[in-house]
Structures are given as C-alpha cells and as structure tokens.
Structure 1
Amino acid sequence: MSKRKSSSSDDERRGHHAAKRRPKLAKKKKHLYLLVDDWERGYSVRKLDVDAFDYCDAAETDDLLPLEQHQYFTDPPVARIEALHEVSCHLTSHGTKIFAMQPGEGKPAIPGFDTHTHGVTICPWPSCQGNNYSNPLFVSVAGDKLFLFMDVLAEVLGDQPPYDSKAPWSWTTIKQARPPFFTGKVLCHAMHPDGRTLFVSAGSRRRRRPNRREEHYYSESESEPEPESESSEQGQGTFSFDTERLQWTKHGDWVLPFSGQAYFDAELDAWIGLCGERNCAGFLCSCDVVAAADEFITGASPPSWKLGQEKLFMNRQQLHLGVKLLYMGDSSFCLVESLIHKEDDHLFRDESILHVDSQFPLPRRRVLCINTFGLKYNKKGELQTKPRRAGACITYKRPHDFGESLSLTPSAFWL
C-alpha cells in the first residue's frame, strides 16, 4: 500500500509542533555601562546591573534620588580603554561595542570594547582622521551601520569582517550624504520607528511664546519670551536622512523640542527625550513622530509635544555638569547625571570658573546620580513617571585636574 502524501496543512502542523519543541534562546540581558574617567590613561568600563538598585517611592521626594545616598565603585572595571581626557574625545556605541573614536593623533587605530564578549578590538580611523574632526555626529543604525557626519563629509563604517578574513575593516565616504547643516549646531536627533530614517534638528531655538502647559514652569520674575521670528538661519530646521537611499530631506525651519538623543517608545507612541526648550531643563517631553521622507508633505506644521510633569533633577544647578538619558525598552528609562561633589560647592562661589575653558581646575571628585523609572500618560493625557523608581549615586575621583571629558556629559550606554 502506498503511503498517503502529506498535505501542506500536515506539514505546517508538524512544523508548528517542532517549533514548539525547540527551546527558545534566552534573550541576552542588558546592562548599564559607564565609561568613567578615573584612569590617568583613559577610561574605566564599569558594568552595572540596574535590577540591583535600591527602590524608592516617587511620592517620598520631589527629586529622584538624594545625593546623600552615595557609594563608591568596589569591583574592578571590566576593561579599560586608552583615550584622551578632553572635550574632543568622542565615545560612541555601535551594536554591542563601545568605541573611543578619538584616542589621540599618534594612535594607529580606534580601540573598542565588546560588551557581550568582553573582547577588545580595534577599528580603523575614518578617512578624515584628525582633519576637521570637531563636532562630529555619530549615529548607529540598527546595529548594522555606524554613520559619521561632519560639516564637509559623511562616512559609514561597514560590517566587521570575520576574524579569519584578510579583508580590511574600513570606512566609506558618502559625498551625497554631506549634511545640510553644521554638525556643531545639532540640537537633537532621533531614529524614526521605521528603523532606517534619522531625524536631526540643528540651528538655534528661536524664542516663542509658551503654551498654557508651559506657562506654569516659567518664573514670575522672568520676562515672557518674545514671539518667534519669521526669519531662519542657513542650515536651521529639522532634517531627515534615509540611511538606505542616502538622501537628506528638510521638513521645515522648526526644530524638535529635545536636547540630545530622543527615543521612540511604542507603548507611548511618541519620541521621548530631555526637553531642550527654554526654561524646561530637567523635564522630559514626548513628541509626535514626524512622517518619514517618503510620506512627507511639503509645508507640514511642527509636531505636537507634551512637557512632562516632574523635573527630574533640581535644587543642585550649581553642582550639575551634564546628563544623559537612555532608553531601556518597554517605556523604561535610565537617567545618568554628572555632578560636582556637594562638599566642593564652596569652590564655585565665582561662576566664572565653571567654564571648561577656564584656567581654574574643576575639582576631581565626581558624583554619578543614576535613576531608572517608567513613563506613562495619566488620565489627563499628561506625561509622568511611574511611582516606583530605582537608583544609585556613585562617587569617584578623576586622576588629574585639567582636561574635562565629553563636554561634561556622562558617557553611559544601555547594551
């Protein structure tokens, strides 16, 4: 007797059961990585498990975490990266790797650290190397391409060849991808949820009247902002870059409301980032996603945005140096703030010494205040943090007085 031929539905059913029997690969747990300038030759790579942070109730304090609850690094660093302690040093992440993109002109290549394998690698210099290498914009797209944008050119780092390959790892110059703005004027950037379109706002924030939601946050002693001017600067506005077509599109003279990098959150259906608008420092904001270039309609108005209800760092502006926001997925975020130690406050009675270019050295002690929290919209549609928060304050000491790192912004990565 001949065997019955299996139908396509039988094959699909067997494939379904086989798939159910296959063990699922465990998702790699991510950690918070800090590159701390506590080593005289460069940076220590510190790996932190945010699940081990202490929890607190948001109702207990207006601030996220009191500075008094600080500790010190006790475990040795997972690695160290040689790089200059200067504002011109640029640390960036790509895939699972962290690169010190400007280790020093005398170095033959760029050092990198793989956070998943704990292996150390080297990346070739871009073709520009040390020429006009100020104020670059590095953007990693889907872990596949690392773009470098500068005033005069754009480059992309290709895939790393296999370890036994004789092919060199190299950058490619993309002449048509030269940005239509000055990279030193970049205010913020964010990836579109399509995974291929980069949005960048550059220029200057023009003064405008606050809306009703913002009026609450302006001090009575401050003058009301002047209405927005109709004139626009060259290279000012919001632009999108299609990383597949390698084309720029201008969306308007307006700018997105963020400062630094913003992130798309699917649950909130919005970009989330630190607010860069006047008198809104310390607040988060959410912004509607702008249509990608192929959906763009000429003359579209700026997207709507909402200011968060809580100020995430306050009452310590004199100690504040810089802050970085990280997205951990599922409407969860991590805020890393860099501060001068509170016991060094007496050194800053004269505000002129706070400038990086000043000859007066900043104190060596630093405090990294780290907080993790969730975001949601309340019943009124307002953006606010969820009640449960976690965090830690860590103190460390820089090895020398001069040469501030990363424009005082903490170098933190969620990988």
Structure 2
Amino acid sequence: MPKRRGHEFQGQRRGGNLAGKSSRPARRRKHLYLILDDWEKGFSIYKVDADSFDSDDDRDAGAAVAGHLPDPPVLRLESPANADMSFAAVGSKLFIVTDTSYGQTPALVYDVETAALAIGPAVPAGLSTVVAAHEMLYAVSPPAFNKTNSFQVMSCAPSSSHDPGWERWSWSSLRALPLLLNVNEIIISYAVHSDGRTIFMTTAYCDRPGLPKSTYSFNTKYCVWRWHPWALPFRDQGYFDSELDAWVGLHKDGYICSCELPTDIGSETPVELGTVQLDWQMVDDNFLRRENERYSRASLTYMGRSEFCLVKSVMRKGAKTEHLSDDDNGCVLHLTMFGLRYNNKGELRITNHKSSCSYRVTRQTYYFPPVAFWL
C-alpha cells in the first residue's frame, strides 16, 4: 500500500510517450461542467454536452421544454448547509476550495480527463474570491478572519519524494492589498488581463452601496499591487476574449457587456493612478430578466472564440416563496449558448445563432448561484 503524502495532491503522473509512439494525443472534446447546490447534503457536478442544445434562433430560451439533468452526476460533494464553497478551473482540473468556517479543510481537485478526485493542502482561513491565473490559484481572505486582509497563492511543484511523477500543491502568502479591506468591503467582480498574469478586482461597500467603487490589480510576475480609479462594469467573473480584444461579463442589470482592457499593468513600480475610465458597452438583449419570471440568478461561462453560455435558474410557476431554498419549490435551469461580435459601427451584438436547453431542478438555494466551466 502506498504511503500517505500528507498535504500533497495525489495528482496525475507525468507520463511519457510509449516506445515507438511520437504522435500527439487526440484533442479532448470539451463539455460544460455544471455545479449546483441542488440536494440537501451539498453540491452536485453534472457533465452537459453542448451538442444537446436545441436551436433557439426564433424563440425565447424560457419557452424551451425542461428535461432532466444527466443522472447520476459525475460527482457529489457533501457540505454543511449554506457553506461558502469556491470553484475554479485550470486546464482539465476543477479546483474546489472548501469553506474553512467549519474547521480545517483541504482543497480538492477533480480531473475531468481521468475522473479522479485528489486531496490537496489545507485551506487557509477565510479564503474567498478564488481566481485562476498563469496555472495557479489566487485567493483573498477578508479582515474578518485575519484582522487584516491576506492574499494567498496555491501553486504546484515537483514532489520531493523518490517518485518524480507526483506533484505537490501548496499554499503560500503574498503581499496583501495595499489598502485594508474592512469587514463591509467585498470583492464584487474580477478578471485576468490578456497577459495572463495581472488580476483585477473591483471592491464595493455592502452597507453603503452609494460610495464609489475601487479597483485593485496585482501583477503576479512582479508581485506589485496598483490602485485604479474605475470599476469593472460586470458582476463576478469577467473573461478575456482575444477576438473581441475585450473582457466580457454579465452586468448587474442582466445584460451582457464588453469592456476594454487597461494598459497600465506591467511595471516593477507601483502606480497609484492609471486610466481614468474604461470604455464599455452592453448588448440590447436582457438575458437575465424576463417579464414572466419572478426570480432568477445567473452566471456566465466562456467557451472560447467569442462563444459563451449563460446559466440561469428561475423559479417554477406556483412556487411558494421568493427564495430558492425549500425542497418543494424547485426551479428551472436555462442554459443559453451564444456568440458575440462587433458590427460595422463597433456595437456589441449577439450573433444570429443561439441554442439552449432547460432542466428541472428540485432544489436550488438562494445562497449559491449555478455556475459552469468549459473543460
């Protein structure tokens, strides 16, 4: 029996080519990996084939007939009620950062290629807003847990054991935000620059929504923070699309928006003032809110080459309350896949081709919006 490896991920072995085999392996076909808080004991991860979407050019996505999610899910995660779980993806791996409010817990990683679940290092207290950049995971811990905010990175290095095929993942501390986040200041949006190394995060006061928002950037190459006098226009995660040369995200009002990238990023010297404001625009179609929908929550997923998927949970008609928290309420999950482009006037538009699918979900809590990863 192999020995336990403490806080190391029991990761994938780095396999070489077989004798006489020099050809490249076939490219793996990607799928949507959908994460839901849909059962009384925790979370489920479903694998959805994008080819199963129906053409939706001439009708509303909400009119699609709701089916059933693939059963069983590829993975279930037991967790306490309303646990604050974070998910991020690097390559073919889906990282799961568990809630540390309930004690010392490990990070987990699910490899979609091998269907293997690995155990990682213990998660530092209170980590949130996990961002993948340059094959690493970065996370902020607010002052409520550490008196001052902290900034951590989880990276991979070859194991020091006699077996060179194993990889070791570990957390390490980086320079914290230059301005302290108080207990009422939260990160509301984030994105990684086209350089793949610079992370941008916009913060806001949850108790004083009228105050101006701030944006901080961290250059992972030089380990330098900067402050910017503008805010990212989208909520949660934004994605860089090289064909649009812009970030794309979901605006708080339910519209898809694109945003130009700042240029003041690469330097070993901190700069306090940069671009005064970024240019951004929204599409005309509101995906998040429809007239016949009482309540909805949504997230956006990037699928590459200006293709995106909007994942939206909507209350079923006749639900008892305005919250998606009771088992007998249920909801319908709409997945809409679409493309983006600029027209000849430089206006952001959704391409003509759209496709969608819908699923009946027996339970979806208010605390965790559905998210998906293209892996």
- Is TM more than 0.5 here? yes
- Which residue pairs with 2:98 in the alignment? 102
User: 1:247: which partner in 2?
Assistant: 224
Choose from 245, 251, 266 the match for 1:294.
266
What is the CA–CA distance in structure 2 between the aligned matches of 1:100 and 1:68, rounded to whole Å?
31
1:146 Cα offset (Å): 0.6
Distance 1:108 1:149 in 2: 17
Say yes or no: does 1:140 pair with 2:141.
Answer: no
Shift of residue 156 of structure 1?
0.9
- The residue that corresponds to 2:338 in the other structure is 373
Code of the residue aligned with 1:38 in structure 2: it is D
Which 5+ residue runs of structure 1 have no aligned equivalent?
Answer: 1-21, 208-228
Q: Deviations over 1:75-114 (max 9, x none)?
A: 3212222223415233333442223322563565233321
Stretch moving more, 22-31 or 67-76: 22-31
User: Mapping of 1:203-282 within 5 angstroms?
Assistant: 203=204, 236-252=213-229, 254-276=230-252, 281-282=253-254
Q: Aligned pairs, how many?
A: 338
Q: Indicate if the aligned counterparts of 1:84 and 1:103 stay in contact, CA closer than 8 A.
A: no
C-alpha separation between the residues in 2 aligned to 1:98 and 1:303? 32
What SS class does the counterpart of residue 263 from structure 2 fall into? coil
Partner of 2:279: 304
Give the aligned partner of residue 177 of structure 1. 176
Aligned residue number for residue 8 of structure 1? none
- The aligned residue for residue 38 of structure 2 is 38
Q: Secondary structure at the match of 2:62?
A: coil
Give me the whole-angstrom Cα distance separating, in 1, the residues matched to 2:90 and 2:167. 20
Aligned to 1:210: none
Matched, 1:83 2:79: yes
Q: Is 2:66 the partner of 1:70?
A: yes
Q: Distance in 1 between matches of 2:204 and 2:284?
A: 27
Change in Cα spacing, 1:265 to 1:169, as seen in structure 2 (3 Å) is: closer
Give the aligned CA root-mean-square deviation in angstroms. 3.1
- Does the Cα contact within 8 Å between 2:262 and 2:275 map onto a contact in 1? no
Distance in 1 (alpha carbons) for counterparts of 2:89 and 2:180: 23
Aligned to 1:14: none
CA displacement at 1:373 relative to structure 2: 0.5
Corresponding residue SS for 1:158: strand
Identity %: 31
- Provide the secondary structure at the position in 1 that maps to 2:88: strand
**More displaced, 283-292 or 86-95?**
86-95
**Cα distance change of structure 1 residues 74 and 266 upon mapping to structure 2, 3 Å threshold:** closer
Contact preservation (8 Å) 2:288, 2:298: no
Show the counterpart of 1:389: 354
Residue 115 of structure 1: aligned partner: 112
Deviation of the 1:122 alpha carbon: 1.0
Compute the displacement of 1:391 (Å): 1.1
The farther-off stretch of 183-192 and 368-377 is 183-192
1:364 CA drift (Å): 4.0
Query: Which amino acid counterpart does residue 322 of structure 1 have in structure 2?
Result: R
Contact 1:70 1:392 in 2 (8 A): yes
Aligned partners of 2:56 and 2:353 also within 8 Å: yes
SS at match of 1:66: helix
Distance change in 2, residues 1:49/1:371 (3 Å): same
Q: After TM superposition, where is structure 1 displaced by more than 6 Å over at least 4 residues in a row?
A: none
Contact 1:46–1:78 (Cα < 8 Å) also in 2 = yes
| SS of corresponding position for 2:266 | helix
Residues 106 and 123, structure 2, Cα contact 8 Å, conserved in 1: no
* Counterpart-to-counterpart distance in 2, 1:239 and 1:139: 14
Which structure 2 residue ranges, 5 or more long, are not aligned?
1-21, 143-148
The equivalences for 1:148-187 within 5 A come to 148-151=139-142, 152-159=149-156, 161=158, 164=163, 169-174=169-174, 176-178=175-177, 180=179, 182=181, 184-187=185-188
Query: Deviations for 1:221-268, whole angstroms, at most 9, x for unmatched residues?
Result: xxxxxxxx9xx66xx41221101221110122x212111111111111
Does residue 200 of the first structure (1) align with residue 201 of the second (2)?
yes
Q: Which has the larger radius of gyration?
A: 1
User: What TM-score do you get using the length of structure 1 for normalisation?
Assistant: 0.73
Asked whether the equivalents of residues 335 and 356 of structure 2 are also in contact (C-alpha less than 8 Å), the reply is yes
Please list, as runs of the form range in 1=range in 2, the aligned pairs for 1:122-133 lying within 5 A after superposition: 122-128=119-125, 133=126
1 or 2, which has the higher helix percentage?
1
